[in-house]
Amino acid sequence: MENVSNKFKLNSAMRKQAVRPKTGFWLVVLGAALWGADPLFRIILLREQITPTQIVLLEHIIIALFVAPMLWKHRSELKGLKLRHIGALLFLSWGGSAIATILFTLGLTHGNLNAVLLLQKLQPIFAILMARVLLKEKLPKKFGWLLIMALAGTYLLTFGFSFPFGHVNDFVKVGSLLSLGAAALWGGSTVMGRLMVGKMEYETVTSLRFILALPLLIVITINQGDPWHVPSGAGTFAAVTINLLGQALLPGLFSLMVYYKGLTTTKASVATLAELSFPMVGVLINWIAFHELVKFHQICGFVLIWAVLFIISRRSAKEA
């Protein structure tokens, strides 16, 4: 009878372990989907003459107040950190949380909103390249051809079916370049996040991501010297405050908590497909809130990039 009980417990534990990756996948989907709501808050704040750097700084101050007790609770995990862990945390906070968010916010002020959002699907490509350089992971088979396909999709998202060989401003689209910079930094942050989630609890990684970014953001904001525009009317001030809180807590803190929790049990190749919820929700919100319709060349570009990610995911799953 005892053997039957032990077998039942073992089978129950195995079923729970089998369910966890599925749960992790949907947590990644939810976390990435919440990022899609980010432009809704940022664009409203930008209209109130708050600069991108000021928005990101205020966002991090609000989040830091919420995560500071969490970091204090897990402070014992800071012991024994090696230089590579410190470097990964600085990349996560300075690159992925501070600079990338500033670039993304700036990108929203230049060019097509949907292009800025959809270009974020290049993040996994940057993540794969950085994993190859830093973690010595093997590149997927025929990655060169897949990279060309992804670049073709990027071209369609940025320029459409035209040939931008006229004026330099037609060739270099500021919004797209800023979005690509953010995608590169966020793609690298995925690699660093996977490294740190294996070392620390996901709550600690999330806390350090925002708190360590604060000194850099303060220096950048002071160096820029832009004046602070405080809304004069009570209604406007309340609207700005609500938007700041909503942006910081929903697509900011809560989304990353959910995302990192899901990432602990989800393979990077599977998480890549789960993150497709980010641009899709963002484009949907742009359509509903800002009447920004998706153009045919953007759909074509997105399909090309999605196809590349799908092929990479399938090959990674077979090699696992």
Q: Please give the structure tokens belonging to residue 95.
A: 């690159």
Q: Count CB-CB contacts under 10 A for residue 132.
A: 15
pLDDT (0 to 100) of residue 269: 54
pLDDT (0 to 100) of residue 17: 46
Report if residue 66 sits inside a domain: yes
pLDDT (0 to 100) of residue 277: 73
Report if residue 59 sits inside a domain: yes
C-alpha span between 200 and 204 (Å, rounded)? 6
Contact 119, 157 (CB under 8 A): yes
Report if residue 220 sits inside a domain: yes
pLDDT (0 to 100) of residue 60: 94
C-alpha span between 235 and 2 (Å, rounded)? 68
pLDDT (0 to 100) of residue 164: 54
pLDDT (0 to 100) of residue 272: 61
pLDDT (0 to 100) of residue 87: 92
Contact 110, 174 (CB under 8 A): yes
Report if residue 17 sits inside a domain: no
Report if residue 189 sits inside a domain: yes
pLDDT (0 to 100) of residue 56: 92
Please give the torsion angle defined by the CA atoms of residues 255, 258, 260 and 262, in that order, rounded to the nearest 10 degrees.
-140
Q: Where are the alpha helices (DSSP H) in 100-173?
A: 100-107, 113-118, 123-134, 143-159, 168-171
C-alpha span between 46 and 30 (Å, rounded)? 26
The single-letter DSSP state of residue 291 is -
Range of the domain at 66: 26-319
Q: Which residue has the tokens 């929203």?
A: 108
pLDDT (0 to 100) of residue 22: 65
pLDDT (0 to 100) of residue 143: 72
Report if residue 101 sits inside a domain: yes
Report if residue 11 sits inside a domain: no
Contact 133, 193 (CB under 8 A): no
Report if residue 74 sits inside a domain: yes
C-alpha span between 284 and 282 (Å, rounded)? 5
pTM, to two decimals: 0.73
Residue 237: phi and psi, rounded to 5, are -60, -40
pLDDT (0 to 100) of residue 42: 83
pLDDT along the chain (320 residues), means of 10: 44 45 77 83 82 92 94 91 91 93 87 72 75 70 78 74 54 74 86 81 91 95 88 81 88 87 71 69 78 81 78 64
Question: For the chain, what is the domain count?
Answer: 1
